[in-house]
Amino acid sequence: MKWDKETFLDDLRSNATREVAKVGEILCDFTETHADKASWGRGKEYGTLTFKSKSDFGMVSLFQLTTRGYIKFNINALRQKDIPKPVIRDYLLKLESNFLKDYDEDNYPSDSYINMSELFNTSSQVEKFTQCIEGIAYRLRQ
């Protein structure tokens, strides 16, 4: 199955809380508006949406959403692509200050899905996250 915004949001609304579905909708709109490429998944079990940005290393994925209400920050994937350390450090600092979690290599050894209900408790956190992604994408395009 090839997912699109409509099927993604319908599935998200039926599989997540209203609050998580609202955050997912905001992040879908944000991805369609600000990503160099919004990549919709093809999975049968659940849908995915990936925010991709242009860089000197080709297209890089900054985060991925699922219709099950999860988000994955692709930090370790960025580390493996030799993205400049200041860009990664900026991404980490903004994530850590927004979500009060450590995303260093010891505490976040592999990119994994996190329930959005554990991260986004206020609209301010959603706004700070989108501002973070905008900034990182801008720096990657330079």
Separation between Cα atoms, residue 7 and residue 100, nearest integer Å: 32
Separation between Cα atoms, residue 61 and residue 74, nearest integer Å: 6
Separation between Cα atoms, residue 116 and residue 20, nearest integer Å: 6
Q: What is the pLDDT of residue 70?
A: 98
| For residues 19-32, average pLDDT | 98
Check: pTM over 0.85? Answer yes or no: yes
Decide if pLDDT at 142 tops 90.
no
Number of domains composing the chain: 1
Q: Give me the numbers of helices (H) and strands (E) for the chain, helices first please.
A: 6, 5
Decide if pLDDT at 107 tops 90.
no
> Mean pLDDT over all residues of the chain?
95
Separation between Cα atoms, residue 16 and residue 19, nearest integer Å: 8
- State the residue range of the domain holding 78: 5-141
Segment (H or E) for 128: helix 123-141
Decide if pLDDT at 1 tops 90.
no
Decide if pLDDT at 40 tops 90.
yes
